[in-house]
Amino acid sequence: MNTRRDFLRKMGASALMLQLGSITSFSSAANQIGKPYEGRVLRVAIMGLGGYGTRVAEAMKACTKAKLVGVISGTPSKIKAWQARYNIPEKNCYNYDNFDLVKNNPDIDAIYVITPNALHHNQVIRVAKAGKHAICEKPMALNAREGQEMIDACKNANVKLLVGYRMHFEPRTLEVLRMRNVGDFGKVMFFQAQCGFKAGDPSQWRLNKALAGGGSMMDIGIYAINGARYMVGEEPVWVTAQETKTDPLKFKDGVDETIQFQLGFPSGAIASCLSSYNISHLDRFYLSGEKGFAEMQPSTGYGPIRGRTHKGELNQPITTHQTVQMDEMATIIFDDHRPAIPVNGEEGLKDLKIIDAIYQAAETGLKVKVKG
């Protein structure tokens, strides 16, 4: 199956295992030099044992503050394989029907939901009702209404809701944001994001509206939307969008093939973005200010991220994104740490509101105001 994750895996292919063996969390580097970490460890169960779930599990081997302790899957054979591979006890294994029973399991602190988009809403709400912290893959839900319901459910249960925004902890990305914050680029005028690849197997869930909620916009497009927000450093107030579909048999009604969209920000900055399931080799960010620029390519792949600014090449440490993410999320959950770029449910909701507006703009041809 040729999916977004297959595509990104190819872009960063050999880096994962090399990184797992030699590079640990950027944020936890001090622990590797000094005494071992002795604080609380976030005990995580992964729900959805597919390709990305496996990548997260492998990356967590290098974590110092998080540990894989449980699994949730609808496929018994996968559960058995993961038990053997990651030494997971039988009492920490659940299926999609009975995972509510995790409320009686004190050995699991959080559940990472890595399932098709349409399942996130109900599954996260069930996780919250079971009294466990929820980590959810992006997009957090199919629309803003669902996202708000997930936020409310977690607040009512007094548990945290975090979203798998791994780029929010990536060192070279954070360096660009640091440079912007200290004024190295001057006033930001323009941002461009190009995110795309050729989707493969037409029977995959990502091309099924009932499971995906859309097409490229609900998958690779989330990187362009979220990237525009954190690179510009503002929230967009309007969007315009245009959809192009060349293969209606593969990309059926409600499954977008390619969408170009534009964002307007309060300062006057603008963004021009593209999300596609039918254009290969697109993984680039470009930020332009009155005094300088930043370019990242690859900008969101699994690694290594590469980039340059008007001051030269970015050379911050290369990390395994998911290792850093899970260690950082442990500090957010246990210590109420606030990262440079939020990864909470409210952050996910902002992206969903923009997605709603983009689809409306593409359908109507109108400039659409983004709801606050």
**What digits encode the pLDDT tens for the residues 341-357?**
999 999 999 999 999 99
Select the CATH number that applies to the domain covering 167-317+345-369 from these four: 3.90.650.10, 3.30.360.10, 3.40.640.10, 3.90.1010.10.
Answer: 3.30.360.10
Query: 85-111 burial string, b = 16+ CB within 10 Å, else e?
Result: ebebeeebbbebeebeebeebeebbbb
Clarify whether 277 is annotated catalytic: no
Is the peptide bond between 236 and the residue preceding it cis, with omega within 30 degrees of 0? Answer: no
Angle of helix 221-232 relative to helix 345-364, nearest 10 degrees, comes to 110
Give the CA-trace dihedral at 196, 199, 204, 210, to 10 degrees: 50
Report percent pLDDT > 70 for the chain: 91
Residue of 52, 223, 230, 359 marked catalytic: 223
pLDDT bin (cut points 50, 70, 90) of residue 209 is: very high
Clarify whether 138 is annotated catalytic: yes
Top-ranked range on mean pLDDT: pick from 4-8, 10-14, 297-301: 297-301
Other C-beta atoms lying within 10 Å of the C-beta of residue 169: 25
Q: How far is CA 198 from the centre of its chain?
A: 20
Cβ neighbours of residue 82 closer than 8 Å, sequence gap 6 or more: 49, 57, 71, 73, 88
Using a cut of 0.75, tell me whether the model's pTM lies above it: yes
Q: What is the rounded average pLDDT for all residues in the chain?
A: 93
Of the candidate ranges 33-47, 245-259, 282-296, the one whose mean pLDDT is the lowest: 33-47
The CATH code for residues 4-166 is: 3.40.50.720
**What digits encode the pLDDT tens for the residues 231-264?**
999 999 999 999 999 999 999 999 999 999 999 9
Cα-based distances in Å from 7 to 19, 170, 227: 19, 19, 19
**What digits encode the pLDDT tens for the residues 66-84?**
999 999 999 999 999 999 9
Residue of 132, 138, 160, 350 marked catalytic: 138
Domain chopping of the chain, boundaries: 4-166, 167-317+345-369
Query: Residues 23-33: what's their mean pLDDT?
Result: 43
DSSP state of 222: H
Answer yes or no: are the C-beta atoms of 24 and 64 closer than 8 Å. Answer: yes
